[in-house]
Structure 1
C-alpha cells in the first residue's frame, strides 16, 4: 500500500524496533497525527486468547474519564415510564415496536449505540440481521440491556465504549482525539487497559497482552511495552 509524504515523514519519528512506554507512545501518536482533520487516537490490543471458545471471550464496556471526543447518538427500545426516563437522560431516539419497520425496511440507522430494556429484547431480536453485522445489538455484558436506561444513556454520553475481540483476537477501540492533551489520553488509556486486564478469562493461559499498538486515524502505529501494562 502506497503511503503519502505526510505519513512517511511521521513514520520517521518512530523507531519500529522499540517498544515504548505508554506516555512516550501517546506523545509520539499525537506528533504523528498530521491530517487536516481532528484524528481519532486508537488502541489495537492483541490478546493471548482464542475467542472461538466461549470461556475465552473478552467483552465488556468501560467509561473513559475524558470521553472519546465524539458525539454519540443513542437509540433506546423501551416502553411505559422507561421511554420518558431515557428521553430525560438525553437519548436521541426512543421507541418500541414501531421502530422495527423503519430500521428493517427503510434502512434507518441514524444512531451509534442501541440500548434496550430486557422486556424489549424479543422485539430487538427481530432486527438481528440489520444490527448484528454493524455491532449494534444490545448486550448485557456491555450494559446495553438494562432496566436502568437513564444510567446507560448517561454513561454512553459521558464516554462509555464497548470493547470486544474481533475474529483475529484483537480489540480495536477509540481512546480520544488528537486534540486531547497527553494527560487526557493517558487517563483514558490506563482506564481501558485496567478494564481489559480485569476481564482476563480464567481459561486464558500464557501471555495475555500479546501486543498493544496506538495510532491515529491516518498515522503509523506505535508499539508499546506490554510488560509494563499487566496488573
Structure 2
C-alpha cells in the first residue's frame, strides 16, 4: 500500500506543491512540443511551437536561477536621509581660494591671512577650534589681553535669589559662596540645564564672590573644556579690532595651557578656516 501525503488546503506547503507541478507541466509541454506562443503576422491567431533544445535549456536555467535567488529579508532599520549640501556664496569661495588647504600656517602669518579672508561687516570674533589628545579637559585661564566677550556676572545674594525665583535670569555666570549654596539647591533644575549652577569644578563657588566677579568682569578670564563625547574644544581669543600682538599673545596662552594638541584651526566670524601650526 502506497504512502499517503496529507496537505492542509490553502497552506504554504500546498501552494509550493502547486507551483512545482505547474513548472514540471510546462517543462513536459516543451519536451513534447505542446508549448506554443503567439507569432505576429500569422492570420487567425495562429500559434507556433518552440521545440528547440536551446530554448529548453534556457528555460531550465532560468528556473534554476530563480530557485537559487535568495529572498531579501525586510528590515525595519530606518533610512537616514542625507544632509543637503551647503552651497557657499561666491564671496566665501573667493576668500577660501586664498587659503592653501594643505598648508599649516605659523601664527603671525595666519593672523595676517585671517584679516584678508574675513567677511563680516562688523567686528568679528577670532575663534579657535582645537582637537585635544584626550577628553574631559577643563581649564580656567586668565588671558594677557581681553577676550572681547562681555559676560554678565551675578553674585548669589537675597536679591539674585528672588529674581531667579521670579524667572528673571539675566546673567551669564553665577558666583556663590559655600554659605549660599543651600539657598540655590531648590533652583538646580532651572540653573543646571543652562550651565549656570555654581560648581567648585568650574570655579564658581568661591569664598569672596564679589572680588571674583570684579576680576572676571574685565573679560580676560576664559573657560576651556572639551565637548562631552569628543576631545574637541571651541573657544574665542579676541576681536578682529584688536592688534595682532594682543591676539597672538592670547592664542599662544591658550595653546600653551592645552598642550599637547593634535590639531588647531583659526577662523573668525563667517570666515573660512586656517590650519594653525602648533
Return closer, same or farther for 1:3/1:31 CA change in 2, 3 Å cut-off. same
Q: Unaligned stretches of 5+ in structure 2?
A: 1-85
Alignment equivalent of 1:48, drawn from 129, 133, 147? 133
The answer on 1:61 being equivalent to 2:140 is yes
Return closer, same or farther for 1:149/1:193 CA change in 2, 3 Å cut-off. same
RMSD, aligned CA: 2.0
Return closer, same or farther for 1:46/1:128 CA change in 2, 3 Å cut-off. farther
Match of 2:257 in 1: 195
User: Offset of 1:112 from its aligned partner?
Assistant: 1.7
2:103 alignment partner, SS class:
coil
How many residue pairs align between the two structures?
191
Match of 2:221 in 1: 160
Alignment equivalent of 1:35, drawn from 97, 103, 120? 120
- Quick one: higher RCO (CA 8 Å, sep 6+), 1 or 2? 1
Match of 2:203 in 1: 143
User: Offset of 1:127 from its aligned partner?
Assistant: 3.2
8 Å CA contact retained: 1:61, 1:141: no
Match of 1:224 in 2: 276
Match of 1:185 in 2: 247
C-alpha separation in 1, matches of 2:182 and 2:113: 47
TM-score normalised by structure 2 residue count: 0.63
Match of 1:90 in 2: none
Moved more, 69-78 or 33-42: 69-78
1:35 alignment partner, SS class:
coil
C-alpha separation in 2, matches of 1:190 and 1:71: 21
User: Offset of 1:182 from its aligned partner?
Assistant: 1.0
1:97 alignment partner, SS class:
helix
Match of 1:171 in 2: 233
The answer on 1:18 being equivalent to 2:18 is no
8 Å CA contact retained: 1:78, 1:117: no
Return closer, same or farther for 1:133/1:16 CA change in 2, 3 Å cut-off. farther
Q: Which has the larger radius of gyration?
A: 2
TM-score normalised by structure 1 residue count: 0.75
1:218 alignment partner, SS class:
coil
8 Å CA contact retained: 2:123, 2:239: yes
User: Offset of 1:165 from its aligned partner?
Assistant: 0.8
C-alpha separation in 1, matches of 2:221 and 2:165: 28
User: Offset of 1:135 from its aligned partner?
Assistant: 2.8
Match of 1:122 in 2: 182
8 Å CA contact retained: 2:110, 2:276: yes
Match of 2:264 in 1: 212
User: Offset of 1:20 from its aligned partner?
Assistant: 1.3
The answer on 1:73 being equivalent to 2:133 is no
C-alpha separation in 2, matches of 1:113 and 1:28: 34
Which structure is higher in helix share? 2
Q: Unaligned stretches of 5+ in structure 1?
A: 52-56, 80-94, 198-207, 227-231
C-alpha separation in 1, matches of 2:205 and 2:116: 39
Write the deviation string for residues 74-96 of structure 1: whole angstroms up to 9, x where unpaired.
111146xxxxxxxxxxxxxxx45
Moved more, 173-182 or 117-126: 117-126
